[in-house]
Amino acid sequence: MARVLVAMSGGVDSSVAAAIVRDAGHEVAGVTLKLWGGETDSGCCSVSDVEDARRVAAQLGVDHYVWNLTEQFEAKVVAPYVDAYASGRTPNPCIECNRTMKWGTLLDRALALGFDALATGHHARIVATAAGPRLARGADPAKDQSYVLGVLGEHELARTLLPVGELTKDDVRARAAALGLRTAGKSDSQDLCFVATGTRDVFLGARIDRRRGRFVGTDGAALGEHEGIDAFTIGQRRGLGVARGRRTFVVDIDPERGDVLLGDRDDLLRDEQPCIDASFVGAVPGRDEVVLVQVRAHGAPAAGHVHEDRVVWREAQPRVAPGQSLVFYAGDEVLGRAIAS
């Protein structure tokens, strides 16, 4: 029997995760993190979510705590998110939250309090290999969250339980219903907990000293003006407000000049993708080894070769926005990740 702290968001996945860990005979306590004190419609961090988590814990007969980490969240997740957009990059705040908050502050505090492991409701699996624990895709492809957990290393994986990773979402809801949990029919939360739907422009506008800039075509022609580069990301097609008579994409962003370069989809295609901060759970893939590279949470992976500071694609791929994560796979197993530059 181990002492396990379960991160309970007030959703159905973490509720069932807590039930599975309890039923496995472990000593369980639940904790809900209060990360964001502002407006949100994401289905997490609200008073009702804390109450849902508390009442599920009571139904399961386990202790429940609420830890206020709003200051750390502001410093480690929100501020870097704002800084990234202000400098023309596109951040991954959910990955940064996993790295610095859940498997940073939360795991460190759990271990300091004598817990043996941290459990969450993420749809991914931890598999045992001869080389140690490895992260793998969850059983439900539509809900797989291995991409946002690609930052986890051996230290974190050895102290983590992902109890719903072997289940489909329908299985999770069925288990919650069978247990009579109040969260059985609760809607899934949105990815971004601190920006209400449709308000990113307002959120960033209150935190960034914006300056107007130009839309520029790949031929150097001026195509209009915009209010600030934080409204755009490389590869973006919608909401540009520029008519070129054909599908138009953001091809590049120049934070120094404030220019947003517009072009066709073919203008985005690259044979290589520069990257920084590459890290791997085990051995670094050989330069000739083919790996699968995923660049979005639910995007289709593409084949490539990992070099020291870039990915060389087997077939040309659209440029990845600087700041986005590249997660490397061998089949379903996560090998590591890097950040597009």
Report residue 45 as tokens: 């961090």
Amino acid at 314: R
Pairing of β 222-226 and β 325-330: unpaired
> How far is residue 201 CA from its own chain's centroid?
20
Q: Which residue has the tokens 């931890």?
A: 126
d(CA 23, CA 15): 12
| Residue 94 is a catalytic residue | no
Contact 226, 238 (CB under 8 A): no
Instruction: Give the contacts of 180 (CB within 8 A, at least 6 positions apart).
Output: 59
Among residues 44, 45, 94, 97, the one annotated as catalytic is 97
| Residue 45 is a catalytic residue | no
Among residues 44, 45, 94, 193, the one annotated as catalytic is 193
Residue 307, Cβ density class (10 Å: 0-12 exposed, 13-18 middle, ≥19 buried): middle
d(CA 145, CA 198): 23
Q: How is residue 149 annotated by DSSP?
A: G
Provide the annotated active-site residues: 97, 193
